[in-house]
Amino acid sequence: MNSLRGRHLNVYLMGARVDESVDHPLLRPSINAMAKTYDLALADPELATVISPFTGERINRFLHVATSAEDVVQQNHRQRRLGQLTGACFQRCVGMDALNALYSVTYEIDQKHATPYHARLKHFILQMQRGNFVIGGTMTDVKGDRSKSPSAQADPDMYLHVSRRTTDGVYIRGAKAHQTGCINSHWLVVMPTLRLGPDEADYAIVGALPVDAGGITYVIGRQSCDTRILEGELEAGNAEFSGLEALVIFEDTFIPNDLIFMDGETGFTALLVERFTAFHRRSYVCKSGVGDVLIGAAATVAEYNGVEKASHIRDKLVEMTHLNETIYATGIAASHQSLPTPSGAYLCDQLLANVCKQQVTRITYEMARLAQDLAGGLLVTLPSEADYQNPLIGPQLEKYLKGRDDVPTEHRMRILRLIENLTLGRNAVGYLTESLHGAGSPQAQRIHIQRQMQLEFKQGLAKKLAGIEPDETAP
């Protein structure tokens, strides 16, 4: 946490510049969530660390390039555990998925164009592993007019691009939206967000830069109910952990040559986006960890209300578990089916990764509905912590908000606030809307699924069994 201090970042939140983000009460929960990725490495090294083939030393798995299917699977195991421990987005997966995608793509660019990117990337990864740094991956451009390609935009800054070149490196301009964990990272890796045409070479830029590089402004996104934490710890629902997203604006920010991993190879941008999104879409196994917290909260509120034995309540918990494990099953299957790329790094199954993410866009909402069903209407009519602490009205609330006799009223309030936090409040940002739009909105996954659905092959199976001769099937 101390390594994030004193960087004098240009950070804005609610109209004011934030001098020290580490000490800001609204931002601290997101730093706590990030810090958990370090804590877990100490508490459970088997799960959260690995011996690096680059340094020969034990490193955090978030900085590891997967060289076996087992490595890819382990990423998911750790993501679920961190989701369970934080009930929030712990923000480190984008950087990990970016490194893993870039490792194979830079290798393939070099093979074709005799460029020096792969060796540079390896050197960068080595430095990151030695320093145990956090990397934020930044891909999503602000995109301007969606009907126009990057080069056709009225304002060229709608997509991040090279604005100037020198013999030492490049300057970049543009803005990246919804950047998870950016100010809680040490380094950023910028990447293009879509397939580019041959005339869009200036947009095909991949490079690394420190979070405190000159010319970067961070505007923090608001999260629903984020100021609750200023009103009281009980009121926050989950006072310790949250995610964080920001708009990151680059105004002629410099990237030196040795930190550039793609510059102008437009033919490889689609491959990079495809591999990154494949990794990132099965990273959404994190939501099954958060789902475990929500199931636990729903079961607890049912218990506090004294209805835990009712068959329809049990059935709803079974349904939540079934849905939650569907996310996990598709994600972990994508990881298990990883195959090696020419660079030696492993890539997960792209069809299953997209199916995982598509499930996440729906299942979390249904889980939230079921949790709210079990919580009851008090979820949204619960009086405030201030009223509960008020000497005049507090005792009345203590009496009337009680569920089961043997459960303190405050415990009932706490579990209701946690369900509110996850389904309507601050961490609903991560659990719901981020599940919908993160790593590409639902349609983006459907396009991938469509590309890989092998309809002809499946029609062939059906026709053969139906006794339809091949020549009869010709159109």
Kindly state the smallest distance separating residue 183's Cβ from Fe ion, in Å. Answer: 16
Q: Which of 77, 86, 89, 266 is catalytic?
A: 89
Choose from ligand SF4, Fe ion, none: what does 305 bind? Cβ within 5-8 Å by kind. Answer: none
Kindly state the smallest distance separating residue 361's Cβ from ligand SF4, in Å. Answer: 12
Q: Which is nearer to ligand SF4, 92 or 120 (CB)?
A: 92
Q: Which is nearer to ligand SF4, 78 or 316 (CB)?
A: 78
Q: Which is nearer to Fe ion, 91 or 115 (CB)?
A: 91
Kindly state the smallest distance separating residue 18's Cβ from Fe ion, in Å. Answer: 23
The answer to whether residue 356 is catalytic is: no
Closest CA to 160 of 198, 217, 202: 202
Choose from ligand SF4, Fe ion, none: what does 283 bind? Cβ within 5-8 Å by kind. Answer: ligand SF4
The Cα 100–Cα 87 span in angstroms is 25
The answer to whether residue 420 is catalytic is: no
The answer to whether residue 115 is catalytic is: no
The answer to whether residue 269 is catalytic is: no
The answer to whether residue 106 is catalytic is: no
User: What tokens were used for 37?
Assistant: 């990725």
Q: Which is nearer to ligand SF4, 254 or 284 (CB)?
A: 284
Judge whether 324 and 288 are in contact, CB under 8 Å.
Answer: yes
Per CB under 6 A, contacts with ligand SF4 among 133-192 are 180
User: What tokens were used for 305?
Assistant: 């209300």
**Window 411-430: contact mask with ligand SF4 (x via CB under 6 A):** -------------------x
Q: Which is nearer to ligand SF4, 94 or 190 (CB)?
A: 94
Per CB under 6 A, contacts with ligand SF4 among 75-94 are 89-91, 93-94
Q: Is 137 in the site for Fe ion (CB under 5 A)?
A: no
Q: Is 264 in the site for Fe ion (CB under 5 A)?
A: no
Kindly state the smallest distance separating residue 299's Cβ from ligand SF4, in Å. Answer: 23
Per CB under 5 A, contacts with Fe ion among 402-461 are 438-439
Kindly state the smallest distance separating residue 82's Cβ from ligand SF4, in Å. Answer: 7
Closest CA to 421 of 372, 385, 373, 376: 372
The answer to whether residue 365 is catalytic is: no
The answer to whether residue 284 is catalytic is: yes
Choose from ligand SF4, Fe ion, none: what does 300 bind? Cβ within 5-8 Å by kind. Answer: none
The Cα 60–Cα 69 span in angstroms is 18
Kindly state the smallest distance separating residue 287's Cβ from ligand SF4, in Å. Answer: 6
**Window 340-379: contact mask with ligand SF4 (x via CB under 6 A):** ----------------------------------------
Question: By CB under 6 A, how many residues form the interface with ligand SF4?
Answer: 12
Phi/psi zone of residue 384: left (φ > 0), alpha (ψ -120 to 50 degrees), beta?
A: beta
The residue within the footprint of ligand SF4, chosen from 284, 304, 328, 388 (CB under 6 A), is 284
Q: Which is nearer to ligand SF4, 9 or 94 (CB)?
A: 94
Q: Which is nearer to ligand SF4, 49 or 180 (CB)?
A: 180
Specify burial of residue 398 (Cβ count, 10 A radius: 0-12, 13-18, 19+). middle
The answer to whether residue 180 is catalytic is: yes
Q: Is 438 in the site for ligand SF4 (CB under 6 A)?
A: yes
Q: Which is nearer to ligand SF4, 91 or 269 (CB)?
A: 91
The Cα 435–Cα 193 span in angstroms is 18
Q: Which of 182, 225, 286, 356 is catalytic?
A: 286
Q: Which of 200, 235, 245, 385 is catalytic?
A: 245
List interacting residues with ligand SF4 (CB under 6 A): 89-91, 93-94, 180, 283-284, 286, 430, 434, 438
Catalytic residue list: 89, 93, 180, 245, 280, 284, 286, 434
List interacting residues with Fe ion (CB under 5 A): 438-439
